[in-house]
A and B are shown apart, each in its own frame.
Chain A
Amino acid sequence: MNQDENVIELDGLSKSYSRFKLEPITMSIKQGYITGLVGPNGAGKSTLIKLLLGMAVPDRGEVRIFGRRMPEREQEIKERIGYVSDESHYYEHLSIGAMKNVLAPFYSCWDEQQYRQLLDRFELHPKARIRSLSKGMKMKLSLVFALSHHADLLIMDEPTAGLDPVFRRELLDMLADFIQEDTRSIVFSTHVTTDLDRIADYIAFVDKGRLVFCDSKEEIFERYALIKADRSLLDRDTRGTLIGIRETSVGFEGLSANREEAERLFGGFARIEIPTLEDIMFYTAKGRSGARV
């Protein structure tokens, strides 16, 4: 197994829009694993994915996928990528089958049998017009196309948006199936940090256009601590060690990015718990200031 091979490498990638700036990002995404790109709405997740796929041009920096440079090797790279998005980028007036006829020739490994099986599995009819599909069905269709050309990398932008819990569970299973081959990789973005991040191996957290971290979930949960205690423990020094604090009349809850330090400072006087990704996202985005509720 190519244990330390990267499927995606970003080097100083940045992009400015009039109202939004993606700070230079350098990170790598491991081959053979599932990486979740999380962050609040408007944090820069979709911008990052668009830059990855050459759907937007970076101001600076470099993208390498499968060790090859974008955009020079774009065509060859994209043949091996399955892209799933919550925005429908298909011709609305076409039927599913007609849309397939447009897309299939772009892929040398198009698998007609796989395509039919997936349509069946998702209960999509090839004669149905794309316009008539619900949001969830469009997501399923996007997934069918992405999985029908033997992609090595699945990139999904908010794949669970618009999906009911039943299909979300099914999606988890399909992703786990996809990743049974350790040469394949999955990157997905989400602002809902529940079921999908359970199966993620790595988490890249983006906030306000910055990459906060990109680490394995195990490392993250070992590093961060959620502290719950009496407000009398908060003074200028202890406050300074917390990334975010939520104070109420009955106590406070705060996030620390240094479990050892938190145990030294608060141990014995506070409950110190393992935060959820949602806790980490919430307190990082919210910060120390103005956190009084």
Chain B
Amino acid sequence: MNIIISNASGEPIYLQIVTQLRSAILNGTLSPGQGLPSIRQLAKDLQISVITTKRAYEELEKEGLVDSVIGKGSFVSGASSAQIREQRIRLMEEKMREIVKEAKGLDMGLDQLLSRFGQLYSDEGSEWL
């Protein structure tokens, strides 16, 4: 399992960790129950701050991908990939609901919103896993 941090990309470092660990978990590189490096060890290995790695792990816990046990460390959660996918879709729906609210506030019709989404969807290409 590799994590590669880029200082040049504008993406916050904790998000880079989240994205890379998430795809490793979803594509099976990391299997359920497998131990992850401790927050402090990962900070040392990547030469970044403890708070940054902590934030990344907390984010993954929220998504249900990682379980942390006090005194034992962090593990890939036992949830099946179907459960994880469902969880992520729920999170996505929350964000969509916010967008719908915003669109209504701007008096934007569904057609307009969808066409904007269509544009963004094709722009994003393969970047999103």
A interface list, Cβ under 8 A from B: 1, 32-34, 172-173, 176-177, 179-180, 182, 198-202, 216-218, 221, 273-274
**Which residues from 46 to 66 on chain B have a C-beta closer than 8 Å to any C-beta of chain A?**
47-52, 55
B40 touches A199 (CB 8 A): no
A32 touches B44 (CB 8 A): no
Q: Report the nearest A residue to B43, measured CB to CB.
A: A176
Which residues from B are CB-within-8-Å of A176? 40, 43-44, 47
B interface list, Cβ under 8 A from A: 10, 12, 14, 38, 40-41, 43-44, 47-52, 55, 70
Which residues from A are CB-within-8-Å of B47? 172-173, 176, 198-199
Residue pairs across A and B with Cβ atoms less than 8 A apart, 10 shown, are A32-B50, A172-B47, A176-B47, A177-B44, A179-B40, A180-B38, A201-B49, A201-B50, A201-B51, A202-B51
Known contacts A34-B50, A177-B44; 16 additional CB pairs below 8 A are A33-B49, A34-B49, A176-B43, A179-B40, A179-B44, A198-B47, A198-B48, A198-B49, A199-B43, A199-B49, A217-B52, A218-B14, A218-B52, A218-B55, A221-B12, A274-B10
A217 to chain B, nearest CB (A): 6
B49 touches A200 (CB 8 A): yes
Residue among B38, B52, B55 with the highest chain A CB neighbour number at 10 A? B52
B51 touches A180 (CB 8 A): no
Q: How many A-B residue pairs have CB under 8 A?
A: 48
B123 to chain A, nearest CB (A): 18
Which residues from A are CB-within-8-Å of B48? 198-199
Which residues from B are CB-within-8-Å of A1? 70
Closest 8 CB pairs of A and B: A176-B44, A201-B51, A201-B49, A180-B40, A201-B50, A216-B51, A199-B49, A172-B47
Distance A180 CA – B14 CA, assembled complex (angstroms): 19
Distance A134 CA – B106 CA, assembled complex (angstroms): 67
Distance A33 CA – B49 CA, assembled complex (angstroms): 8
Q: Report the nearest B residue to A32, measured CB to CB.
A: B50
B89 to chain A, nearest CB (A): 28
Distance A48 CA – B55 CA, assembled complex (angstroms): 30
Which residues from A are CB-within-8-Å of B43? 176, 179, 199
Which residues from A are CB-within-8-Å of B10? 273-274
A217 touches B49 (CB 8 A): yes
B35 to chain A, nearest CB (A): 16
Which residues from A are CB-within-8-Å of B52? 217-218
Distance A180 CA – B12 CA, assembled complex (angstroms): 23
Which residues from A are CB-within-8-Å of B50? 32-34, 179, 201
Which residues from B are CB-within-8-Å of A182? 40
Q: Report the nearest A residue to B52, measured CB to CB.
A: A218
Q: Report the nearest B residue to A181, measured CB to CB.
A: B40
Distance A199 CA – B48 CA, assembled complex (angstroms): 4
Distance A173 CA – B43 CA, assembled complex (angstroms): 10
Which residues from B are CB-within-8-Å of A33? 49-51
Q: Report the nearest B residue to A222, measured CB to CB.
A: B12
Which residues from A are CB-within-8-Å of B12? 218, 221
Distance A199 CA – B44 CA, assembled complex (angstroms): 8
Q: Report the nearest B residue to A203, measured CB to CB.
A: B49
Distance A188 CA – B71 CA, assembled complex (angstroms): 28
